[in-house]
Amino acid sequence: MTMRDKTELVVGIGKIGMSYGDTVLVSIGLGSCVGVALFDQVNKVFGMAHIMLPNSADSHLESPNMTILLSEHDTSTFNQLKDIYSKNEFSIAEEAHESFEAIRKYDSLTMGMVILSRYLPRLQGVETMKRIREKDRESRVILISPQSDRQSVKMLLDEGADEVLMDPFDERKVVEVTKSVIFHNQTRFADVALPILIYKMVNRGARIDLIRAKIAGGANIFSTMHPTDIGKIGDRNVLSVKAQLEKHRIRILAEDVGMNFGRTVRFDPDTLMLCIRTKNKEYSI
């Protein structure tokens, strides 16, 4: 089967996407944007980010909603998570210990997100999530699962969970996973998108020391029209991407960046090749 015969997942501008090896990851029309392909070849976890801007600190976005509806019937688990969140900028705005209570309390105030036990009394977590989504399609939901195997995580994600927290809990991992959901609409920035994508990959079975990268894009298409920093956004994107990868100790195996032309990229998990198509040619790195 050639790459063109496989299912493709198009990662839109400012978005991130993932594959377990069954899907080719695609970013279309990279001008000053940078396409970042991340892969753990051993554990078969693959990701792509379509980076639009270098730094979230330069933006004027409102601070994200850090409030949480926490619904967990097990007292020990509930208290452990509540303690972690209280120490890390989050606010437990509502508490629920069974499914219908969670559904009812979701309506009581605007939540940043809902965190549900997979095994809630009355309705289980997946069904509770679906009931909440019937009320609010944009709701963000993390499911708590005692199973840490990759297949269980994939099943819950396929059911619609934004993320999965696995017991026993590591404080740093809980915070990273939760922030990855809260900051989901800020993945246009390199300093937000790449940490989130890395955490998502690790949460799905990748090992941080095995993740490698290939990058393409960051053209300076408007440099002749805008000789200021505006025209050099491609260079700034590339520098920010490289700084994030270096921070996470992820080695770049190949790159095709800069110049003054656009690119479309396709990453094939089978060959680990990043195919690049420009107006005039097609090649792989």
178 and 71 in a single domain? The answer is yes
| pLDDT > 60? residue 1 | no
* Whole-number percent of the chain with pLDDT over 90: 57
Average pLDDT over the chain, rounded to an integer: 88
| pLDDT > 70? residue 145 | yes
Answer yes or no: pTM beyond 0.85.
no
> Does 259 reside within a domain?
yes
Q: What is the pLDDT of residue 151?
A: 79
Q: Among 161, 182, 203, which residue terminates a domain?
A: 182
Q: Which amino acid is at 210?
A: L
Q: What is the pLDDT of residue 108?
A: 67
52 and 193 in a single domain? The answer is yes
8 and 92 in a single domain? The answer is no
80 and 177 in a single domain? The answer is yes
Q: Among 182, 213, 243, which residue terminates a domain?
A: 182
What CATH number corresponds to the domain at position 17?
3.30.1330.200
176 and 126 in a single domain? The answer is yes
- Mean pLDDT, residues 243-261 taken together: 96
276 and 193 in a single domain? The answer is yes
107 and 173 in a single domain? The answer is yes
Q: Among 182, 210, 240, which residue terminates a domain?
A: 182
| pLDDT > 90? residue 138 | no
168 and 85 in a single domain? The answer is yes
154 and 201 in a single domain? The answer is no
* Whole-number percent of the chain with pLDDT over 70: 91
Q: How confident is the model at residue 222 (pLDDT cuts 50, 70, 90)?
A: low
> Does 62 reside within a domain?
no
89 and 161 in a single domain? The answer is yes
Q: How confident is the model at residue 155 (pLDDT cuts 50, 70, 90)?
A: confident
- Mean pLDDT, residues 192-210 taken together: 91
Q: What is the pLDDT of residue 113?
A: 86
- Into how many domains does the chain fold? 2
- Mean pLDDT, residues 31-42 taken together: 97
| pLDDT > 90? residue 169 | no
pLDDT tens profile 46-69: 999 999 999 988 776 667 778 899
- Mean pLDDT, residues 182-196 taken together: 89
| pLDDT > 50? residue 189 | yes
44-48, 74-78, 247-251, range with the lowest pLDDT: 74-78
Domain residues for 25?
3-56+187-284
> Does 109 reside within a domain?
yes
108 and 156 in a single domain? The answer is yes
> Does 61 reside within a domain?
no
| pLDDT > 60? residue 130 | yes
204 and 159 in a single domain? The answer is no
